[in-house]
């Protein structure tokens, strides 16, 4: 892996969200108990600028709340049920703060891919708030990757914490991807591995830049096998146990 970053072949997506509600402490713990070495989680800001672990702009899909995360005060999130949508057994799951999530990640000695997931207009603020917390808690740059689709957020990360590795998320082919990767000085290029138009040649072009290539979100062992054969370094997955067999055989 490039630039000193050593990533495992499998990264738990939003914890291990095939088995526990995504982006919760329970999902992170489940990933660790399954033997996952790294997890990926999403961070965004509440109305009062508290970094919390959450994916969607709105609350409805994964909680019993309603409205936009960016319009909701942290105190109004604390008692929301963030697990019953997944199963009744997770009715006590809550939306964690970034600090709470990091505490669990450190307890289990996991690596972290933190995706900065800002709402529109908060690209800089989300990165600044998240990195400010990380700078006070996280001390191992070799087990941390900061990623985002938002280039302004990665630029902010580069300025605030240049020693922390960055990953550029791509959801569709970008003509200027190489120029952006150079400018943002990213260690990895994180691609949509489910995209059936993705080719071996495209993956090889990413690899030729000397950067790591990570693919999301791969829950099909056959697809994982193909991607690894093309040279992808690792995959994000909801179901780490299903992909583990591919890695072992590969």
Give catalytic residues, as residue numbers. 13, 55
3-class SS of residue 196 = coil
Geometric angle at alpha carbon 5, from 133 and 108, rounded to 5°: 55
- For residue 185, report the phi and psi dihedrals to the nearest 5 degrees: 50, 55
Q: Please say whether the beta carbons of 186 and 166 come within 8 A.
A: yes
Cα Rg of the chain, angstroms: 17
3-class SS of residue 51 = strand
Q: Please say whether the beta carbons of 39 and 110 come within 8 A.
A: yes
Handedness of CA 27, 226, 234, 211 (dihedral sign): negative
3-class SS of residue 230 = helix
Q: Please say whether the beta carbons of 211 and 219 come within 8 A.
A: no
């Amino acid at each position: 892996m490039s630039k000193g970053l050593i990533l495992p072949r499998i990264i738990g997506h939003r914890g291990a969200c095939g088995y526990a509600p995504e982006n919760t402490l329970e999902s992170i713990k489940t990933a660790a108990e399954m033997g996952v070495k790294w997890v990926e989680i999403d961070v965004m800001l509440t109305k009062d600028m508290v970094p919390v672990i959450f994916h969607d702009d709105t609350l409805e899909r994964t909680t019993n709340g309603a409205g936009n995360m960016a319009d909701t005060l942290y105190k109004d999130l604390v008692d929301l049920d963030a697990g019953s949508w997944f199963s009744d057994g997770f009715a006590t799951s809550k939306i964690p703060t970034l600090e709470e999530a990091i505490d669990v990640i450190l307890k289990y000695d996991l690596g972290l891919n933190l995706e900065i997931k800002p709402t529109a207009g908060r690209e800089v603020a989300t990165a600044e708030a998240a990195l400010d917390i990380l700078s006070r808690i996280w001390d191992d740059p070799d087990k941390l990757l900061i990623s985002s689709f938002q280039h302004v957020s990665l630029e902010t990360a580069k300025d605030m914490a240049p020693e922390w590795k960055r990953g550029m998320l791509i959801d569709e082919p970008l003509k200027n991807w190489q120029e952006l990767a150079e400018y943002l000085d990213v260690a990895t290029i994180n691609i949509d591995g489910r995209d059936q138009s993705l080719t071996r040649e495209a993956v090889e072009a990413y690899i030729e830049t000397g950067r790591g290539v990570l693919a999301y979100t791969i829950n099909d062992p056959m697809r994982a096998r193909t991607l690894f054969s093309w040279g992808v370094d690792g995959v994000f997955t909801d179901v780490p146990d299903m992909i583990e067999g591919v890695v072992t055989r590969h």
